[in-house]
Structure 1
Amino acid sequence: MSDLRIVPVSDDATLLDWQRVHNEIIPTAPLSVDEIRERARHHVLEVAYAGDVLVGCSTVRPPSDETPAATVIARVLPEHRRQGFGTAIYRRSLARGRELSTDGIDTHILASNEDGLRFAKSHGFTEVETYLLPGDTIPFIHLHLS
């Protein structure tokens, strides 16, 4: 794995990179720049680069009244998978999630993202439920790590 640099979404360039990764991996629920700006106010959004090459992004959502666990989502562009980037992004996000919650960690993965599901399960996550967002045809899978 070449030098991995993980930085917070802090300007338009990192916001657009985060959007690119999210929207490529979650094409059924693309986010606008304004939606991402709103998320960045409440969640920890980061972008990962190998040198100057965009490889992935992450989201850490703090617990809420509805969800006592923190939510950790690590995404790696398909052409950069199986090189250790996902593990590095995940470990960093998991540490942050554990700072925010003692009730475990959740993640949500688009059911068609077989690599993501395999990754989550290999790191100890278990399926909680499958759900479909309004208007979607591909479900998400909610997983939990105790």
Structure 2
Amino acid sequence: MEIVRVRDEATLVDWRRVHNEIVPPAALTVDEVRERAERNVLEVAYDDGVLVGCSTVRPPSEETAAMTVIARVLPAYRRRGFGELLYQHCLRQARGPVETHVLASNADGLRFALAHGFVEVERYLLPGDEIPFVELRLDELDDREAR
């Protein structure tokens, strides 16, 4: 698997495609993704040139002292190890407490986060949404996950 930072229009469009397929209530425009790429690490994952996922690593903010790590894998490519590789890649960029956010209807994503030691902190709705997001926190990285 190859992981590439979003730096051009092609990778930006690929990142948006994965994000919007997995999180349709929070679908983003190309301009919104471009703006996010300026303040977060956005990456796309390919397997032999085929788009399989994307990730976001967001630094701590005024709202949270934790780094946010989100690994997304398209449904057709799940359960093949891509999520694990992408997640571990993201963790190598994280320091201190880590959180993630998963759409409550994404059972695979929730199962993955819980299996990796994340604990649910809260559920919240974005304005106009009907499906909540689940905020999960991983307070300490064990040695296996920090490699």
TM-score w.r.t. length of structure 2: 0.93
Count of residues in Structure 1 that have an aligned counterpart in Structure 2 = 139
One-letter identity of the residue aligned with 1:129:
E
Separation in structure 2 between the aligned mates of residue 28 and residue 81 of structure 1, nearest angstrom: 21
Out of 81, 86, 92, which is 1:84 matched to? 81
Separation in structure 1 between the aligned mates of residue 105 and residue 42 of structure 2, nearest angstrom: 23
Separation in structure 2 between the aligned mates of residue 49 and residue 109 of structure 1, nearest angstrom: 22
Out of 109, 116, 122, which is 1:123 matched to? 116
Structure 1 runs of 4+ with >4 Å offset: none
Does residue 8 of structure 2 align to residue 15 of structure 1? Answer: no
Q: CA deviation at 1:64?
A: 1.1
Identical columns (%): 65
Separation in structure 2 between the aligned mates of residue 11 and residue 117 of structure 1, nearest angstrom: 31
Which residue of 1 is the match for residue 39 of structure 2?
A: 42
Separation in structure 1 between the aligned mates of residue 69 and residue 123 of structure 2, nearest angstrom: 17
Out of 30, 40, 48, which is 1:51 matched to? 48
Which residue of 2 is the match for residue 70 of structure 1?
A: 67
Calculate the aligned-residue CA RMSD, in Å: 0.5
TM-score w.r.t. length of structure 1: 0.94
Cα deviation 1:29-52 (Å, max 9, x = unaligned):
100000001000000000000011
